[in-house]
Amino acid sequence: MILDATVITQTLAAATPVLLVATGAVFGERVGVINIGLEGLMVFGALTAVVVSVATGSPFLALLAAAGAGVLGAAVFAAFAIWLKRDQVIVGTTINFLAFGLTGVWYRAYLNGFGAGKTATELPDLIGQGAGGVDALTLLAFALVPAAHYLLFRTRLGLTIRATGEVPEAASAAGTQVNRLRALVTLFVGGLCGLGGAALSIGIANSFTEGITGGRGFVALAVVVFGRWNPVGAMGAALLFAAADVLQFTLQARNVWAGLPYPVFLAVPYVLTLVALAVRGAKGKSPAALGTAFEQG
């Protein structure tokens, strides 16, 4: 029997990093900003969480620091992409390589320094234990979904965010400081990316490795499209990805189709993401002003 309670909790845990980032990215894209650098911000948050957790022994301080690291990285993105109006895709790509490089150097320095031989304090489970446990970040990620939906569709702030991503001139005429709003949302998304990274490093793996994010920042971008720029839709898509991830892991662990090379299993969630995008992605319509700079008149 593959389907037991631990499969469900494992799926929730596996969905957490993608969901946190995707919820943020829904807001980012709705306000008109496409940030390809989500992956890099996640890596940044993942390592920061481990280092702070080891240094302080407090996983909650580690979460705070990870969010801070994400905000910091997003500030760099905002400075170039929004303030200086550079191409968002290029700035985002640069942020990724910057994050991969910096965390690589930092991680080696940490391993040879005070981090030698130590393990991070893991995020404790609030409900259940071990494989059946659910930690604070998972609760936060899923609690954020209805809150995000409410904010986006049932408040003036959300309405302004949606209008800004569609016709920034109209939002501006209505009194919105378009670039300031975009920058603030970008920082918020950065914070969620940092938490998403922490969910991997001190939530699931309890350690940092290079390449820990495994493209989940990019998957989050696909999840946003698949979820039609809607937090609830994004949650569904994130769960689908996570279920595939847990499935491939379970299949490997139980030696089902053991003859297949393991990368085939690893590829399952990503192939599924591609298929999902192919089936559903074309129908969605992205915010009209996505990725464009706004000149305040």
Partner 1 sequence: MIGVTAVVLAARNITRRFGTFTALDAVNFAVGEGEIVALLGENGAGKSTLMNVLSGSLAPSDGTILMDDKPVRFASPLDAASRGIGMVHQHFLLVPTLSVAENLLLTASRRAGGALSYNIKGVLKDAQILAGRLGWTIPWQTLTGDLPVGTQQRVEILQALRGQTRVLIFDEPTAVLSPTETPELFATIRRLSDEGRGIVFISHKLDEVLALSHRVVVLRRGKVVFTGETRNLDERILAEAMVGADSDAAVLLQAPPGVTTTAAPESAVAKKALHVEAVTVRVRGASKAGETKSGAGTAPLLPTALDAVTFAVEPGEIFGIAGVDGNGQEELAAVLSGLMRPASGTVQIGGVAPPVNAAAFRRAGVAVIPADRQARGLAMPLTLAENVALGVYDSPEYRVGAVLKWRKLRERADALVKRFDIRGGGVNTSVLALSGGNQQKVVIARALSGSPRVIIAVNPTRGLDVGAIAYVHNALRQARDNGAAVVLISTELSEIQSLSTRRVAVLFAGKIAGIVAPDASRETFGLLMGGKRLKETTAVA
Residue (32 or 37) nearer to partner 1, CB: 32
Q: How far is CA 190 from the centre of its chain?
A: 9
Q: Least separation, in Å, of the C-beta of 185 and partner 1?
A: 13
* CA gap 158, 34 in Å, rounded: 17
Q: Least separation, in Å, of the C-beta of 286 and partner 1?
A: 11
Residue (162 or 216) nearer to partner 1, CB: 162
Residue (113 or 175) nearer to partner 1, CB: 175
Q: Least separation, in Å, of the C-beta of 194 and partner 1?
A: 24
* CA gap 259, 254 in Å, rounded: 12
Residue (212 or 225) nearer to partner 1, CB: 225
Q: Least separation, in Å, of the C-beta of 186 and partner 1?
A: 18
Q: Least separation, in Å, of the C-beta of 230 and partner 1?
A: 13
Q: Which residues bind partner 1 (CB under 8 A)?
A: 151, 154-157, 159-160, 162-163, 166-167, 169-171, 173-175, 285, 288, 297
Residue (167 or 268) nearer to partner 1, CB: 167
Contact 81, 33 (CB under 8 A): yes
Structural tokens at position 125: 């489970």
Q: Least separation, in Å, of the C-beta of 30 and partner 1?
A: 11
List C-alpha distances in Å: 194 to 54, 64, 117, 137, 203: 17, 9, 24, 12, 12
* CA gap 280, 218 in Å, rounded: 17
Residue (114 or 153) nearer to partner 1, CB: 153
Name the amino acid, one letter, at 110: Y
Contact 9, 183 (CB under 8 A): no
* Closest C-alpha to 214, from 258, 253, 269: 269
Structural tokens at position 80: 């170039």
Residue (127 or 174) nearer to partner 1, CB: 174
Residues 6+ away with beta carbon under 8 Å from 22: 220, 221, 223, 224, 227, 234, 235, 237, 238
For residue 288, the tally of other CB atoms under 10 A from its CB is: 11
* Closest C-alpha to 146, from 265, 230, 256, 78: 230
Q: Least separation, in Å, of the C-beta of 158 and partner 1?
A: 8
